Amino acid sequence: MEERNIQTDLLKLQNLLNVQFKDTTVLLSAITHRSYLNEHREATWDHNERLEFLGDAVLELVVTDYLFAKYPEKPEGELTAVRAALVNTVSLSATSEQMGINEYLLMSKGEARDVGRARQYILANAFEACIGAIYKDQGYREAKEFIAGRLFEKTDEIVRKRLWQDAKSRFQELAQEHVSVTPTYETISQDGPDHDRVFTVGVYLKKVLVAEGTGCSKQEAEQKAAEQAIVAKGWDV
């Protein structure tokens, strides 16, 4: 986003968020990554890290209050796990991207080229910063409505598919439920130098290979294999 378009894009972003800010500078800070200010010393506003800190706290309170009321029978441990699944980096970055916040981020040229996990963090942090900006400018009720409209609808799927569990635990429960078998994992290959290993792990039911997963550690590869196995068996519905 070129600097000459900032005011125009702030108007578009307010429409996207469905919030009209009293002070658009706070919204501008919410979409500004620290790296942008390193390349634009003339900027007179702050980056989004403090707003992210604020938004994270508001998000946790709003989601906790919602889950506490929605699931009066669930114990604390399960509520904590469901909340974590709802507000983790993957969930928040996906919501941020679906909304189109990515188009309005102010970053350095280097950060703008980042993809994958690095971009996920930036998008998730920007989403939390926007929550912080809404809270600071509009108050708690408006921030709660914003969060509710973007995240609460995901809750039923998370609970129904038990997405709050890690993939290995979920696949083990599903395998025992459907075929009365406990999955086993075996390392199929290890590639790359010691400092940059890539592991491929297979997950088996009895001795039948169900799926494979790759990762930078055996644990990560096992989780990926379990995720793929759930899909392969059609147990993700």
181, 175 in Cβ contact below 8 A? yes
CA gap 70, 12 in Å, rounded: 34
Angle at 72 between CA 159 and CA 140, to 5 degrees: 85
What are the b/e assignments for 9-36, b being 16+ CB within 10 Å?
bbeebeeebebebeebebbbbbbbbebb
Q: Is 156 a catalytic residue?
A: no
Q: Is 128 a catalytic residue?
A: yes
> Which residue is catalytic, options 52, 128, 137, 227?
128
> Is residue 165 classed as helix, strand or coil in its secondary structure?
coil
CA gap 144, 36 in Å, rounded: 29
CA gap 180, 72 in Å, rounded: 31
> Which residue is catalytic, options 56, 111, 222, 227?
56
CB atoms within 10 A of CB 98: 10
173, 182 in Cβ contact below 8 A? no
Active site amino acids: 56, 128
